[in-house]
Amino acid sequence: MRPVLALALVLLAAAPANLGTAQARGGYLAGQPPIDAVRLLPPPPAPGSSQDAFDRATAAAARAGVDGPAWKAAIREANIPDANFMQGLSCAVGVQVSAEKTPTIQKLFMSVTSDFVGPMEQAKSAWKRPRPFSVDGGPACDPRVAAGQGEKLGYAYPSGHAGIGWLLALVLSDAAPARADAIRAWGAEVGQHRVDCRVHWASDVAAGRMLGLAVYTRVSASPAYQADIKAAAAEIAKAAPISCPAG
């Protein structure tokens, strides 16, 4: 199962019963024409192009950084939405984010993730781009690769992690504008970690963010989204601040 598709299912399973089944399962764009990711995104870089050369150079640099600080940070956030991923997000927001403590934010996450996954899968299936570790035979930080199950990660383009990270950052910036800089830095880091992990090329990450922005642009016009953002902002304002280690 694709990691980001698994995320959608995990979030749905964790959803409190009062969040509204139809919206949680269909997202804010349910019943609307879907985003056509293949038309929206440029194709992956052509072999021999300058972008392809950049992708290969960054993959080689990441290989040289195996077991370094960036590699270890990427391992900690390899799985959405495990405890390490959620803690990084919580530190960016400044309050503990969880289904129990911030149910409206959980509802937002479920809905926007549902809106993102379909277009992402469409694009991955259309382009079938292999991942860096499968091209050069080098290591990758995702535990499924070490276990010989790298094929379970699916195709590379666009990056689901990068897109979800950036989409959530845009959403949370609406709910906590005073923390927008920290939140967006976190969202950008989620994508960069996928390059550091050697499971994505740099252009995969850029395309994921582009798709995340497109989903955000559509959902942010929804009255249901706007109502949920107001509720999420109130939720954050009432929550106790948390302290996180620097760096």
Q: Which of the residues are catalytic?
A: 161, 194, 200, 204
Close Cβ partners of 9 (under 8 Å, ≥ 6 residues apart): 1
Q: Produce one character per residue of 53-73: b if its CB has 16 or more CB atoms within 10 Å, e if not.
A: eebbebbeebbeebeeebbeb
**Which tokens belong to 46?**
């052509």
The residue length of the chain stands at: 247
